[in-house]
Amino acid sequence: MTHILRIDSSLKGEASVSRRLTGRIVAKLSEASPGATVTERDLSRGVPQIDAGWIGAVYTAPEARNADQASIADYSDRLLSEVKAADILVIGLPVYNFGLPATLKSWIDHLARKGETFRYTAEGPEGLLKGKRAIVALSSDGTKMGSGIDFASGYLKHMLGFFGISDVEFVAADQLVFDSEGTIRAAEDRIESLAA
């Protein structure tokens, strides 16, 4: 049975274009796989930034953690478990100031754990989350995806690949300020053409 993890990070709530697109992508995938299950994670509610306390927590053996470390590690472990359990990640990527929302970057930081999502080998780093698919719904007001001022899509694709997720597709509703209706319609048409 297919398990889908939907990640949203836009601060705009129901007015968010990236949320609209992730919703449509999940609906399309669920229609193609009627038994699919969906886990939703809304990062706009806040994701703690990693810090020295986080490092101390996640790299301390569970039985040796104090209460604060156990709480920190539990939150981070839940984010990691959601990704590990997913067959398909549907990620909303609103472009803020040419890059990722801070909460989406923090989510990635929680996932970047040696021995969990990657390891170092004599040949270089190896991602440990192989066999998963990611579909990214990118929205932006003025930034064109793949342009010299897009510091969001390339970074996210790199990090997913670093974790072993090489099957990454983008659905872009970029440069919305120039033709919002046409851009969204083209993105929705792209969703309809996605292979299930």
Mean pLDDT of each 10-residue bin along the chain, 196 residues long: 96 95 97 94 96 96 96 97 98 98 98 97 97 98 97 98 98 96 96 85
**70 domain residue, yes or no:** no
The response to whether 18 counts as a known ligand-binding position is yes
Q: Give the domain CATH number at 183.
A: 3.40.50.360
The per-residue pLDDT for 100 is 97
**108 domain residue, yes or no:** yes
Specify the pTM: 0.96
**138 domain residue, yes or no:** yes
**50 domain residue, yes or no:** no
Cβ neighbour number for residue 182 with a 10 Å cutoff: 11
**51 domain residue, yes or no:** no
Assign 187 to helix, strand or coil. Answer: helix
Number of independent structural domains in the chain: 1
Most distant CA pair in the chain, distance:
56
The response to whether 193 counts as a known ligand-binding position is no
> CA–CA separation, 174 vs 111, rounded Å?
27
**48 domain residue, yes or no:** no
Report phi then psi at 50, rounded to 5. -75, 150
The per-residue pLDDT for 196 is 66
The domain in which residue 160 lies consists of 3-42+82-192
Gyration radius from the chain CA atoms: 17
The per-residue pLDDT for 195 is 75
Report phi then psi at 49, rounded to 5. -75, 145
**119 domain residue, yes or no:** yes
Characterize the bridge pairing of strands 37-42 and 118-121: unpaired
Query: For the chain, where are the alpha helices, taking DSSP H only?
Result: 17-32, 52-58, 67-85, 102-111, 153-162, 180-192
**58 domain residue, yes or no:** no
The response to whether 10 counts as a known ligand-binding position is yes
The response to whether 166 counts as a known ligand-binding position is no
